[in-house]
Structure 1
Amino acid sequence: MSPSASMRETPPGGERAKRRLALVGGSLGNLVEWYDWFIYATFAIYFADSFFPGENPTAQLMNTAGIFAVGFLMRPVGGWILGRAADRHGRKSALTLTVAMMSVAALLIAVAPTYGQAGYFGALVLLLARLLQGMSIGGEYAASATYLTEASARGRRGLGSSMQYVSMTCGQLLGLGILITLQHTLSKDELASWGWRIPFVLGALFAVVVFWLRRRLQETEAFTEVSRADGRGQDTRGTLKALWLHRRQAFLVMALTLGGTVAYYTYTTYLTKYLIGSAGMEKSTATLVSFTSLTVFAVLQPFAGALSDRIGRRPLLITFAVGCTVGTYPIMTALRSASSYWPALGLSLLALVIVTGYTSINAAVKAELFPTGVRALGVALPYGIANALFGGTAEYVALWFKDAGHENLFFWYVSGCALVSLVTYVLMPDTRDATLSQAEAEAESATDAVPGAPAEARG
């Protein structure tokens, strides 16, 4: 192997250490952000009747799911504002701001008064907190996807960016772990009365710690390279005008996100409620099924990400879309009859293995579609719109079909969304070999100029 190829494949020890620190720092912050985001859905089964009185449990969950979905409406707004900030002022500053916003939102939910204490004012506090969380998470996804992708070595971007869903899932696991602990230490009445507030207090405290951590992160080389340019792109970087020049890529992000986000929220946040409400499973058993399947799911992400670095992104995306299109109806139908732990776990794992084809690499794919000056906004805004329209409403749509007596139609809805994404994956180019900075482009040119350099050294 030539010297230039060797340097590209194996960065110096100091550079590798910096990249590991960036991945760890970015991932830990992402974990806490998504923990705060997911515990709303995780604990909704306990606090729904505290804010929405009535005798119909499904209607109460629909109200809390509606507020959950409203949070997604702010994700495009947060993606626009914080994505612009990340492109103009740096990934690090945007990541620090998002976690501060999430801490405030978690604290608001923790102290929200119930219906018995203040009528629907408590529900209004929930709504305001979810709007703030939506804005925060809209910026968090783009900033972390961009940061983790740019901070990874070019030949390991699939592996590096897979840490986004590892940390996202670990955040959800942390919430489920706290729920399991509370289920074994508090009575059902205590959980419904005040115990559900505990995870939100913890979330606010976790976010304060991460705020301190993120202030110590280093900026990525790709952003530093652009920001050091003598005024070049300063007027348009991170703007809608600049994004419009890459509108094809933006529409690609929306289309490739559609199937993945619906499937992800179906088999993660909605799964526990589905096992309880449709399969008749005990709450503690359903929670344990979700916890175990998500643990395996988190472990799978780096392996799938590393595989994409070898064979490309499209094969994994296509495998996911085909599996979700043809597999959703039989999996969900079988889950409805799985009233015990092991059958439900096996089916849940099958679904999440399929979803891994999307989750493990979607951050890298989206970031690789855009140039540095508009990368964070390009990931954030179209992704936020797709999530607002489809991901955030998945649980509500499922409960609406259930309440109307046509639950099976939701299974076809998920399959249809996956089919749209399948067409997109088949037609789009593979992004694995994209260069994210001028330094990468120059390194590639130097490697290509060396006679006899091995193919793998060229990306």
Structure 2
Amino acid sequence: MSSAERLTEGRTPDDGARPPSRLRQLAAASVGNAVEWYDWYAYSFLAVYFAEQVFPADTGNSLVPLLSTFAVFAVGFFMRPVGGLLMGAVADRRGRRSALTVTILLMGAGSLLVAVTPTYAATGVLAPLVLVIARLVQGLSVGGEFAASTTFLVESAGPGRRGLFSSFQYVSTTLGQLLASGTAALLAAVLTEREMGQWGWRVAFLIGALLSLLGLWIRRGAQETRSSEQRAAERPGLFEALRRHPRQSLLICGITAGGTIAYYTWTTYLPTYAQVNAGFDKGDSLTVGTVSLAFFALLQPLGGMLSDRIGRKPLLLGFSLGFAVLAVPLLHLVTDAFLSLLLVQCAGMVLLTGYTSVAAAVNAEVFPARVRAAGIGFPYSLTVALFGGTAPYVGTWFKQAGHADLFPWYVAALCLVSFVVYLTLPETSRQKLET
């Protein structure tokens, strides 16, 4: 029996040590991942408050600072492929736990740097430069986080539970996002608009830096999912996954394209979309986002368990076809009414669960253990950078150009592309995890 199979049967691969507690493994991956994503998402939720503090306002167009802030948001995403490749290589060479330790340290440092970013009025061009550096560090971290935590979660799963364990990737991601949204909503409720713009937004990033230390402490108790034999074997080259598994790498891109544009549109950009296109209140949009994210987190384990029963493919096909058909009418239903945004966001969350609850398992089942983390990390993060990270910028740009109605069609088209890819996928839920 292979070392991966021994772990699947509930025994640790580490030299006869006691069996790992699956609850502890879930906590180590999930709590740390939640902290990582709190730091990452606080930026997008608070962008409307600090945009004019960091970027000079164009008196002729009030959208310029916001566009600049979302451009930096996208720049951070383009460090994610580098992080996926480098941290994935660390996970494949040194172990998953080592990579998870490095990623959370980087994220905490990036969050602290955002918190102390000076204003443009005080330092000029230094302000956006510091913000860019902070987002590059965070992008490096979060790109590696997905690669390491995905492999760690799926390799920690028991028989017939890879889908369930996979779902906790987005349970924890959503909890981090929920915490970021809730913190932003709370700050917006207790502080005035002027206070939020001057200093309130910094509080959220300071909290993130402190939470990173908590995540680091919890991860120290995790047990490595790679056996000592695997770690002692010849270490894979940095680009080995791309060289030896080009088809699988392209497959990851196709699997991810529709999922990432739908995910970032519905969970990150939709509140801003409602503000810019329907005149929705800033504070109310954060409240709607918080409520819908809580609903989304509850759906994830249900989707994961369902995929362990009926397979990954039906959920993926339902997600992609649903968004290809419904993205346009759903986004056109957004008005300045509280209930309209809440219903649109929750409806999208139901469809989106077909992708998010199984994405980690599907990706991990594509590659063998030797190059699994790096094999997932680079193509996944590259696709997210191209389509997910640019979603807020593209949506705001369409609005500025006077073609706001084109953005929903853009989302639908990418989901249709992924639908075609899902049709070609083999069903892997019943197969043993490749070693």
TM-score band (shorter)? over 0.9
Amino acid at match of 2:326: G
Cα-Cα RMSD: 1.8
Would the alpha carbon gap of residues 135 and 296 (structure 1) be closer, same or farther in structure 2, given more than 3 Å must change? same
Measured in 1, the distance between the counterparts of 2:106 and 2:20 equals 30
Within 1, Cα distance between the matches of 2:299 and 2:19? Answer: 23
Distance 1:429 1:57 in 2: 49
For residues 363-411 of structure 1, the C-alpha deviation after alignment (integer angstroms, 9 at most, x for no partner) is 1100011100000011100001101111111111111111000011111
Give the secondary-structure state (helix, strand or coil) at the position aligned to 1:28. helix
Q: Distance in 2 between matches of 1:10 and 1:103?
A: 35
Contact 2:241 2:374 in 1 (8 A): no
What SS does structure 1 have at the residue aligned with 2:263?
helix
Q: Once structures 1 and 2 are overlaid, which stretch shifts more, 172-181 or 251-260?
A: 172-181
Map 1:272-421; keep pairs closer than 5 Å.
272-335=271-334, 338-421=335-418
Question: Quick check: 1:252 aligned with 2:251?
Answer: yes
CA contact under 8 A between 2:8 and 2:157: conserved in structure 1? no
Structure 2: stretches of 5+ with no match in the other structure: 1-5, 12-16
List structure 1 segments (4+ residues) > 6 angstroms apart after TM superposition: 7-10, 14-17
Distance 1:208 1:217, change over 3 A: same
Q: Tell me the alpha carbon deviations over residues 183-207 of structure 1, each in whole angstroms, 9 at most, x when there is no partner.
A: 2211110010001000100100000
The answer (yes or no) to whether the contact 1:85–1:238 under 8 Å persists in 2 is no
Q: Residues 44 and 268 of structure 2 are in contact (CA less than 8 Å); yes or no, is this contact kept in structure 1?
A: yes
Report if the CA contact (8 A) 1:225-1:437 is conserved. Answer: no
Q: Answer yes or no: is the 8 Å Cα contact 2:103–2:145 preserved in 1.
A: yes
Among 128, 133, 157, the alignment partner of 2:138 is 133
Larger mean CA deviation between 283-292 and 253-262 belongs to: 283-292
Q: Percent identity?
A: 47
Is the 1:238–1:376 Cα contact (8 Å) retained in structure 2? no
Written as runs of structure 1 = structure 2, the 5 A alignment for 1:183-198 is 183-198=188-203
Gaps of 5+ in 1: 1-6, 439-459
Give the corresponding residue for 2:53.
50
Q: Is the CA contact (8 Å cut-off) linking 1:259 and 1:417 kept in structure 2?
A: yes
* Counterpart position of 2:115: 110
Partner of 1:263: 262
* C-alpha distance in structure 1 between counterparts of 2:342 and 2:229, whole Å: 47
Q: In structure 1, how many angstroms separate the alpha carbons of the residues matched to 2:340 and 2:276?
A: 17
CA distance in 1, matches of 2:72, 2:112: 17
| Count of residues in Structure 1 that have an aligned counterpart in Structure 2 | 423
What CA distance in whole angstroms lies between the structure 1 residues aligned with 2:54 and 2:396? 18
- Are the counterparts in 1 of residues 85 and 377 from structure 2 also a CA contact under 8 Å? yes
Question: CA offset at residue 8 of structure 1?
Answer: 11
Superposed CA offset, 1:321-371 (max 9, x none): 000101000000111xx2221222111111111111111110110001110
Query: Who is 1:97 aligned against?
Result: 102
| Shift of residue 242, structure 1, vs aligned partner | 4.1
Distance change >3 Å, CA 16–CA 227, structure 1 → 2: closer
Distance 1:379 1:15 in 2: 29
1:38 counterpart = 2:41: yes
State the Cα deviation string for residues 233-281 of structure 1 (Å, max 9, x = none): x14x253134321111110000110000000000111011011111111
- Report the CA distance between 1:11 and its aligned residue: 5.4
CA distance, structure 2, for counterparts of residue 376 and residue 241 of structure 1: 11
How far 1:436 sits from its partner (Å)? 2.4
Post-superposition shift, 1:9?
A: 9.9
TM-score where L is the length of structure 2: 0.94
Indicate the SS of the match to 2:355: helix
Aligned to 1:203: 208
- Aligned pairs (5 A) from 1:4-83: 18-54=21-57, 55=59, 56-83=61-88
2:241–2:375 CA contact under 8 A, matched in 1: no
> Secondary structure at 1:239's aligned position in 2?
coil
Residue 437 of structure 1: how far off its partner (Å): 5.5
Q: Which residue identity is paired with 1:205?
A: L
Question: 1: distance between equivalents of 2:346 and 2:84?
Answer: 31
Which TM-score applies when normalising by structure 1?
Answer: 0.89
